Structure formats: C-alpha cells, structure tokens
Amino acid sequence: SSLMQSNLAPIPELFVSYDSAQKLKVEAAELTSWDLSPRQICDLELLMNGGFNPLKGFLSEEDYNGVVENMRLADGTLWPMPITLDVSEKFAESLELGQDIALRDQEGVILGTMTVTDRWTPDKSNEAEKVFGADDQAHPAVNYLHNTAGKVYLGGPVTGIQQPVHYDFRARRDTPNELRAYFRKLGWRRVVAFQTRNPLHRAHQELTFRAAKEAQANLLIHPVVGMTKPGDVDHFTRVRCYEAVLDKYPGSTTSMSLLPLAMRMAGPREAVWHGLIRKNYGCTHFIVGRDHAGPGANSQGEDFYGPYDAQELFKQHEAEMGIEMVPFKHMVFVQERAQYEPSDEILDKDDVTILNISGTELRRRLAEGLEIPEWFSFPEVVAELRKTRPPRSQQGFTVFFTGFSGSGKSTIANALMVKLMEMGGRPVTLLDGDIVRKNLSSELGFSKEHRDLNIRRIGYVASEITKNGGIAICAPIAPYAATRRAVREDVEQFGAFLEIHVATSIEECERRDRKGLYKLAREGKIKEFTGISDPYDVPENPELRVETEGTDVDNCAHQVILKLESMGLIAAH
Ligand code: PPS
C-alpha cells in the first residue's frame, strides 16, 4: 500500500455566508419554487456541503450527456452518477431559462436556490442502459427513473442557504469539512472508510478491523442513512446497532459518521461514486466488497453485475480518484479455531468446519424467533434487530372478512375477536361494516366511489394497527376485488393480511334476511344492494373461504384460528 496521506484542507461548499443566507432566504420567498422529492433533498444536501465536490449544482445537459456516456463531466472530470433535478413537464414549461428558482423541502423550508441554465427531456432508456447496465425495471433505480422521476430535467448552479434539517442522531452527522477538521484534530492522516446499508455483524467488524490494519489507517464506519434499497432495515435501527458495534473496536482507532446519501444501487459506477464522495470526506482508502452496491437479480433472475465488476472499475480509476481501494475479504467463521478468517487464506478447508448464516437465513430466524448464535453477531445487535423484527407471532396482522350482507361476517368476526382476546398478547380492534359506517364513514352512501372510499379508510386504519403490532379484524362487504387488493398492499408493508371469504350464497342470505334489507331491496326501496342490484367480485385466492351453511359460528371462527397458527401468526396451543 502506498504512503498516501490525506490533505485535510477544507473543500468548497455551495453555502453562502450566514448573513447572506438570511437575506437570500427572504428574497427567495418571492421566487417560483420547486418542492424537492426525498431523493432530491439527499442530493442537494451533498451538493451543498461538498460531498459531491466538484459539482456546483444539478448537472447541465452537456455534463449529463458526458456522465451518462463516459462517466465524465464536459470538462473531462471523472463523475459516474447523473445528479439531476427531475421535474414535471408542467413545472418545466412555466420557467424561462436563466430564471432563479427556490428549492424547498417537504415542509416548505427554502434550502437553496438554483439558476436554471438547462432544461431538457432525457432519453431515460439510454440513461438506464448506460448508467445501470440495463433498461430493466427490476433494478430499483431504473424503476425510479421510469415511474417516479419527472419527465424533464433542469440543470444549473445551486446557491446553498441552509442544510436540510435532521432531528435524529444529530451528533452523528458531519459535513465533509466537519469530518476533515475532526481528522485534523485527531491527527488521522490515513483513514479507510466502510460504506454500509446493513446492520454490522461479527464478520464485518472483523473485516473492517483487518482492512484498517492492512492500510495502516484509522477506520471510519460511514453508513448510509439517506435512501437505501427498498426493504432494508430502517436507519434508526441500524444506527443503534452500529453504536453497539463501535464499542467492540480498540479505543480511539475507529469513528462513525452518518452519510445522508440517496443510493442508486448502481454497482460498479456506484462504487466509483462512493469513493469520490469518501475522498471529499477526507478519507484515503475505501473498502469495496463483492457485489458492491448490487441491486439483486434482474427480471431474468440473474445478477445485474458480476461480483467483482465494482472492484475492477474502481481499480481502473483509482489513481485519478486519489483514493485507494481496499478489496473486501470474504470472512468466514472457522469453528475449530473459533475465529473469523478470510476464506481465501484457509489452507485446511477440508479439515475444518466453516460456519455461515446467509441474509435470508438470518431473516428467517428473526421471523420465527429462533436462536442467532454469538459467533455470528453481537448480542446487542441481535437484541436491536429482534425489537424491530419481532417474531411473526408478535407482529401485527389484519384479518379481512368479505361477503354479502347477512353472510355472517360480523358474527364470525366477533367470535374471532373474543377468541383472540382470550389468548391475549396483542390488542384487537374490530372494524365491522356497521361500526365503520357510523364512526368513520357516516357521510358515505353505496355508490362504487363511496364503497371504495369506505374500504380504503378501513385499510388505512388496519395498516396503522398492523404497523403498531395490533390485530385488526375488518368485516365490510368490500365488493370490489381491486379495492381489496389495494388494502392488502397497504397492510402488507407492515404485516400479514388474511382475506377471508364468507361464502354464504346470496339465496341463503336472502332466505335468512336478518335485517329485512333483502325484502326492501327486492321491492326497490333500497337501491344498489349488493348481490341484488349491485355487483360482488367473488375473491379468487383468499387465504381462507368459510362456508356457513351447515357449520356453526364457533367452528368458522376456529378455522380462522387454525389458519393463523399455520401462518405462524399465533403460537400453536
Ligand atoms: S361496503 O360495500 O363494503 O362499503 O359496505 P359496508 O360498509 O360493509 O356496509 C354494508 C352494510 O350496510 C347496509 N346496507 C347496504 N349493503 C349493501 N348495499 C346497499 N345498498 C346497502 N344499504 C345499506 C347493510 O346492512 C350492510 O351491513 P352487513 O353487516 O354487511 O349486513
């Protein structure tokens, strides 16, 4: 390894002085303003604080073309990732080139201004091919590009007024210049950065520690807390985990700082981008692993990038970047020696037992509340993860009954509620059709629009209950399949969703006619009556279908309990 040391002089930021900022903020209130998306807020923060140095704003069309085609700005500077301000066509059309616009966060606070020098409609398929390697929406950034990003890009220099406000982990957030000053103060002239979007376990601790020793450098744990891959462990949990791991390093060799980056999962290009960012933060070395910033499988089920593509691309540009790569060693646990070793350095592979727990296996063990051994992770980390991902038998869920009026939904739902309350452990809320129509939806009638609105409200409440670890039991008619699917999607972000079709036939419901409504519907005194004069989409693939004709209520509710047990949602008794 070279003798590279960092020059820790301050780097340029885009902020104006405090006094100018106060003045500019008042003036900017008059400007046309753009409300930044969460990703744009992340990008703007790193533009303004120098994390994206040498960029001076969102890319111009010429710079964008250079970056997309050959990873270079128009002046030849290496830059692998298009940092663009995507907007709607309508907003773009309302502007004149040369105009200043205010950039606001989601609460309306003005973070900066931009002079719009460029406006163009990008070829998104080309961007996807060149930057992400394929125009395949299985790639999260390609999906974002086509389905979330606006049609038009604006480019131009940015003037920074204030940083985005963060209320969480404030002491752990540093700008590049703050981190540079910190390294100067400690005399850290060689610093190896570790990028991560996952909780750290023992293997990572081991590999980062070894990387620092090899590079004769101090270690910076530099996790991403901006936007990572959808489905990742949330950053609140991760930071609590990192803080626990930080105590395991030898004192004053290691530091941690949070990076508000919006990742793109662009593999090789992302690795180069990450390296340039860490250079701005005053680091001299950067760990690049196997499949660095990989997005997972494409729509053909194959990985988007080769496992070492990122290391290769980084290596090619290392000298120009001025930050050295420390290639990730794949660490495995050797049982006989009770220690982690780089797998390529184990010469007696056939004579020892090598232990490993994959990410999928870890998630399974968390979901089922199974043991996670100490050789794999630190007890403090496992405890944090268990709090966030309790076993399925302690997570919230929603049971959603659907069926005709008078089919027995409410009766079965009530019996189920009582049985679950007898078991205890989780709060249970019954959102019965009639109760909801009295409390949440009293102004609604029975048109398609009103029924959909009613069901979406039920879905919203159920998803909140599920998120907070409770049990929601819903029992509306919910005649439309598409609406039921939408509710399922709302709830499944947070926990399990069981659709239960109470399959009593319309003839039987009408024969029972417990509320006398069918008679009125036949006489035309109630319009749009489900099953008589209004449609009902029979559920095609419900988690359970219960037949009420010839089966008593207790038995129907018991069938639901058995289903919940088989899904691991309640402990078998
Ligand atoms: S929906 O379609 O899911 O919004 O319906 P829901 O909120 O479950 O309300 C159904 C209850 O309202 C009574 N009712 C009617 N049902 C269907 N169609 C019409 N036109 C209608 N008018 C009033 C009926 O009593 C339903 O109660 P349940 O408990 O299902 O018998």
81: CATH: 3.10.400.10
Active site residue 121: no
Distance CA(323)–CA(555), nearest Å, equals 68
Residue 526 CA: nearest ligand 1 atom is 20
Pocket test for ligand 1, best of 446, 474, 537 (most atoms within 8 A of CB): 446
Residue 183 and residue 284 share a domain? yes
Provide CB contacts within 8 A for 164, sequence distance 6+. Answer: 41, 44, 45, 105, 111, 260
Q: Is residue 385 part of a domain?
A: no
ipTM of this complex prediction, to 2 decimal places: 0.93
Q: Which long-range contacts (CB under 8 A, 24 or more apart) does 242-249 make?
A: 242/199, 242/200, 244/378, 244/380, 244/381, 244/384, 245/200, 245/204, 245/205, 245/221, 245/378, 245/381, 246/221, 248/205, 248/378, 249/205, 249/209, 249/219
Residue 231 and residue 122 share a domain? no
Regarding the beta carbon of 164 and ligand 1, being less than 6 Å apart is answered: no
Q: Is residue 12 part of a domain?
A: no
Regarding the beta carbon of 226 and ligand 1, being less than 6 Å apart is answered: no
Q: Is residue 514 part of a domain?
A: yes
CATH number at residue 257: 3.40.50.620
For residue 477, report the distance from its CA to the centre of ligand 1, in Å: 6
Overall domain count for the chain:
3
Residue 266 and residue 287 share a domain? yes
How many CB atoms neighbour CB 252 within 10 A? 9
Residue from 196, 208, 254, 398 carrying the catalytic annotation: 196
pLDDT of the residue at 14: 98
Residue 453 and residue 305 share a domain? no
Instruction: Give the DSSP letter string of 454-476.
Output: HHHHHHHHHHHHHHTT-EEEEE-
Active site residue 196: yes
Active site residue 172: no
Q: Is residue 1 part of a domain?
A: no
Residue 237 and residue 211 share a domain? yes
Residue 436 CA: nearest ligand 1 atom is 7
Q: What is the pLDDT of residues 349-395, one digit of tens each?
A: 999 999 989 888 998 999 888 999 999 999 999 999 999 888 899 99
Residue 404 and residue 310 share a domain? no
Residue 141 and residue 184 share a domain? no
- Pair of tokens at residue 286: 């950067």
Residue 246 and residue 186 share a domain? yes
Regarding the beta carbon of 433 and ligand 1, being less than 6 Å apart is answered: yes
Q: Is residue 305 part of a domain?
A: yes
Per-10-residue mean pLDDT of the chain, 573 residues long, equals 79 96 96 98 98 98 98 98 98 98 97 98 98 97 96 98 96 98 96 96 93 94 95 93 93 94 98 98 96 93 95 97 92 94 91 91 90 96 92 95 96 97 96 92 96 97 97 98 95 95 97 95 96 97 95 96 95 72
Regarding the beta carbon of 249 and ligand 1, being less than 6 Å apart is answered: no
Domain coverage including residue 275? 170-332
Residue 225 and residue 137 share a domain? no
> Looking at 105, 132, 160, which one is the last position of a domain?
160
For residue 183, report the distance from its CA to the centre of ligand 1, in Å: 67
pLDDT of the residue at 368: 87
> Looking at 311, 332, 353, which one is the last position of a domain?
332
For residue 405, report the distance from its CA to the centre of ligand 1, in Å: 6
Residue 403 CA: nearest ligand 1 atom is 30
Residue 405 and residue 531 share a domain? yes
Residue nearest to atom 28 of ligand 1 (CA): 405
Residue 195 and residue 317 share a domain? yes
pLDDT of the residue at 400: 98
Regarding the beta carbon of 530 and ligand 1, being less than 6 Å apart is answered: yes
Name residue, tokens 């663009």.
84
Pocket test for ligand 1, best of 412, 449, 477 (most atoms within 8 A of CB): 477
Q: Is residue 96 part of a domain?
A: yes
Q: Is residue 30 part of a domain?
A: yes
> Looking at 332, 367, 401, which one is the last position of a domain?
332
Residue 465 and residue 406 share a domain? yes
Q: Is residue 242 part of a domain?
A: yes
